[in-house]
Structure formats: structure tokens, C-alpha cells
Amino acid sequence: MNPSEFAIEGVCLSDVGKVRTCNEDSVAVDAGNGIAVLADGMGGHRAGDVASRLALDTLLERLPEKIRLYRAGGRRPTPLQFCEQIVGEANLAVHRAAQRQAALRGMGTTLALALFHDDRAALVHVGDSRIYRLRDGRLELLTRDDSLLREQVDQGLIAAEEAGDSHNRHLVTGALGIAPTVRVHQRDEEVRAGDLYLLCSDGLTDLVDEDDIALILRELQANLPLAATHLVQLANDCGGFDNVSVALVRVVAPRAAAAPTGGLLGRLVGWFR
């Protein structure tokens, strides 16, 4: 590890919610490779579950080799470039699977991906799953939803304060698997020790205000498993109408990174689906 490279500690948690019978979210944290990824599937007859798992598996299978080559000194392509490339491969895998089986036609998935490398984070997303960062006590949304509602708000067709009551809030305008190619949003930023990143599905953000999310993260940032549990529980307490999934990643100096233990943190660090 480069002396200037930060390490990460991460946890993830997914819950079916209080209404649905199938969990179509998939979420993972691979702390050793600096990966956090979350996918929220869509499609009938459990097809959304297939889409999100296929996208997640493609990323977790193909990213580590790219990361290994990058760390070995192959500085091209950049992490942001190879993340976008592999997200494209995941999109094609989901699309082809949907074309092969009639029961899977029309399936797709959102995606939120964070790759931590050196002293930076490469962020890629499609759909309405979000990435937030808590820094110095302030929560900032780092992604822009691919959704009809977001477009309507941007165009002044609906007021932002009315957005939560709109019937269009679940209509996404971008997702993996719908077409052979996909437009992704990307961002590369410098990280600082102590930064806390949250990847989440809309099962959280549709029901829990950002102020409440920020409060939980500020108060519980020293205990990531507890923070993740509280976020999921609050979404369920507010109705639990959708699957809810979160991944929390804390940026730490390399020498401060602790190895996973056999307790709760050890069970949650790594990946959970």
C-alpha cells in the first residue's frame, strides 16, 4: 500500500422491509479492494433480484483484477475509467440475461459504486440509488437521481417540497440492463480521514429525511454496524414500503485500519447480499 493511500472500514445491511416479500436489493463492501456497491433491482417475478445480483456479481468479479493491476503500477486506465468500463459490462450482462429469458424481460437495476484508491474516491451511479458523504458533521448528496421526478423539479414543473408526494417518484430514467449501452454519471474526489460515505437505495431516502439521516450518522459514526441498523430500522418504522439497503464506508489512515473481528463488525465487514 502506498504510504499516501487511505484505507476504508465498511459495513452493509439490507432488509426486505415491512410490505414486500422479496428483497430485490443487493449490496456489498469489499474493504480490502476499496469497493462499496449497491444495486436496487426492478422487474416482476423476482427479476429485479436477478438483475441486482448479476450486476453486483459482475462488478465484484471483475474489479479486483483491475485494482490489482493499478496498484502494481499500471496507472492507466484510471480507476474512474475502469469502473465505467466494468459498469458497462455489468449493464450488458443484465441486458443479455433479460433477452435470453422471457420471464426476465424488462428487468433492470440501479447502481451506486464507490471505489476508494490512493487518496481519492471514484464514484459511479445510474438510477436513483444515492451516494452521500458526511464530512465535518455536514451531509452532502454526491449524486443526482436519474428519475422523472428529478427532471420535473429541475424544469420547475413541480416544487421540491411537493416531490415526496408525487406519484412519479419511483419512475427512473436510467438503469442497467434496459438497453445494450447505458449512460453513467461519474465523479472523482479527494477523500479525507474521517469521511463517512453512505450508499443507499430509495427504500431509505423515500421515507427518511436527510436531516434524520445526517443526525444518525453524526451520532453513531463511531459504530458503523449500529448506524446501519438504525437507518434501516427508521425506514421500517416509517412504513417500510420498499426494500431498504445501506452501505457505510469510513475513510481511515492505513495504520488505523483494524482487521475484521469475529463479532458483529466482523460479520458485517466484507459483503452482505
The distance of Cα 15 from the centroid of its chain, to the nearest Å, equals 15
- What's the confidence (pLDDT) of residue 252? 96
Using only C-alpha atoms, the chain has a radius of gyration, in whole angstroms, of: 18
Rounded Cα distance between 149 and 262, Å, is: 43
Predicted TM-score (pTM) of the model is: 0.88
Q: What residues form DSSP beta bridges with 196?
A: 134, 250
Rounded Cα distance between 118 and 19, Å, is: 42
What count of Cα atoms within 13 Å lies in the side-chain half-sphere of residue 16? 8
- What's the confidence (pLDDT) of residue 262? 41
H/E run at residue 117: strand 111-117
Share the mean pLDDT of the chain: 88
pLDDT at 167 over 90: no
- What's the confidence (pLDDT) of residue 271? 39
- What's the confidence (pLDDT) of residue 254? 74
- Predicted confidence band of residue 2 (pLDDT cuts 50, 70, 90): low
Mean pLDDT of 172-186: 94
Helices (H) and strands (E) in the chain, counts: 7, 12
* Edge-to-edge strand ranges of the sheet holding 130-135: 7-15, 244-252, 196-200, 130-135, 138-141
- What's the confidence (pLDDT) of residue 263? 41
Q: In terms of CATH, what superfamily is 7-272?
A: PPM-type phosphatase domain (3.60.40.10)
Proportion of the chain above pLDDT 70, given as a percent: 82
What CA dihedral angle connects 184, 159, 208 and 266, to 10 degrees? Answer: 20
Task: Give the residue, 106 or 154, on which the prediction is more confident.
Answer: 106
Fill in the DSSP letter of residue 176.
B
Closest CA to 173 of 182, 164, 165: 182
- Predicted confidence band of residue 268 (pLDDT cuts 50, 70, 90): very low
Cβ-in-10-Å burial (0-12, 13-18, 19+) of 178 comes to buried
φ, ψ of residue 173 in degrees (nearest 5): -110, 5
Rounded Cα distance between 224 and 207, Å, is: 21
**How many angstroms separate the most distant Cα atoms in the chain?**
52
| 3-state class (DSSP) for residue 185 | strand
pLDDT in tens, 148-159: 555 555 655 565
Task: Give the residue, 273 or 108, on which the prediction is more confident.
Answer: 108
- What's the confidence (pLDDT) of residue 163? 53
Taking phi over 0 as left and psi of -120 to 50 as alpha, with beta for the rest, 207 belongs to alpha
The distance of Cα 260 from the centroid of its chain, to the nearest Å, equals 21
The type of residue at 41 is: G
pLDDT in tens, 8-61: 999 999 999 999 999 999 999 999 999 999 999 998 768 999 999 999 999 999
CB atoms near residue 218 (< 10 Å): 14
Mean pLDDT of 158-170: 56
Helices 224-237 & 210-220 angle (0-180, nearest 10): 150
pLDDT in tens, 202-235: 999 999 999 999 999 999 999 999 999 999 999 9
- What's the confidence (pLDDT) of residue 5? 78
Task: Give the residue, 96 or 253, on which the prediction is more confident.
Answer: 96
H/E run at residue 29: strand 25-30
pLDDT at 73 over 60: yes
pLDDT at 240 over 50: yes
- What's the confidence (pLDDT) of residue 265? 44
